Structure 1
């Protein structure tokens, strides 16, 4: 089958399914909006549809399709399913969810690929609606994607170039513009943080990347102070509030791959069977327990005992929702 004929058959099947979903009657305006098909194309597809059916291809076995006063009518006796199609609201919700997951690592890359496939499957009208919505929610969401912002910040850090950022401060509910010299990028419990000298505060500060609306790399060069060490900053507890404890966790499977790729090398030790043992710092016992539990059987707490018990307790609570907890 030629590419042209294949496209015609595909469009005809989509048209039939679309009209049948609406009770066998749909206006050409709605068809154009949802499927991106002009009226002339719809008439061509109607001709194709009327030649389709099932054996022995008698009058009652063919698809009955016609246009009357800009309304497309389809009547078919077969049990004719249609390809899965998302409504605009469903596509929008899924697209925003994919943006939220684009934070780097395996999950971020998978989300980016899934979003590309989703957009390719959308009609032109649906893509426009999603683009408009992403622009409106870029403040809270992810206009270019967290992964893209991380990539630009990493490039600026590597080349020792200052960046101009728009940053949202939750405590003041305000957006500010500032120039930052990026000294380091840190990933902590699934979140990215920028550490650098803030021109506004004239001091080294930490910024949550998901709150950065835009990043512009400048030509301003700088040198990282000799006394600044990223691991010293990570271990200083500035990422955490209150008492800081250390845990050792054995990761396997996909979690092991992510930890090996994303965590600082000196906090990861190779173990048997492709597993790794990672060291992490935490302040909220229950919070880190929830995060570890999300990895399922791919994360086993080795120490401290209180964190191991917290994970077990969370697991028992989850099981209790679906049975007797046994």
Structure 2
């Protein structure tokens, strides 16, 4: 691409970030003089891109709403985020908006660079995206795509993993990728310990696929294993509550992955709910949604919080 054309597109990308940009700022960002910036703006106007000139002390250029959407310029990270978001919505169920999402995803996929499109296809093929979830810590896109390719091709992975300030080298047989509660997880066998483990991908610094291959056990469910792994993870607070209700009804109202429900043999009709939590402030509200008699076994701090919530509700 000729260098002036590349700078015109770079100018468009800057303006798409929003706000009014001074000519001096644009010149500095693009590495040209102010006269050249004005010439680039003229090029955009010739392409019917709605660039508005703002006069005054804080003037400059900005994009204005127009009859046609300006050309989008997405980084690899942005393209992956958009396509994964669209795919997640489609897998959650479709209607008229689902058809629009499918059309948008197809258009975006057609204009991706072929190498990126091929790697992204592996991610969409193997990832369990589940329901649309809030955005959480995001892994490095290159790590995400390397892991997805290894899952699809059943190749071992060499990972550099960091947690709590400690960095370790691991070799993992990747069984699946799962998106849950705004985070990406990898589940597979840690070769050194020969144990099934769950890893948060935003904690993986680098990933490299090996040449060897392996087989995934028949019937393996990556999402179920990730949820079991999260439920076993040690947290700051171990909550234990007895609830007078059926296990299925209780499970349907509790957050996935951090709670377990089991019958209490000595108390017919009761189940024990165990929740792992870093904070207790949200737990009373969740317990209130169970709409059942309950007994807080611990911790003591939670009992106080439940009483406080009860008093506030009665006052309301």
Please give the TM-score of this superposition, normalised by the length of structure 2.
0.40
Q: Larger Cα Rg: Structure 1 or Structure 2?
A: 1
Q: Which has the higher helix share?
A: 1
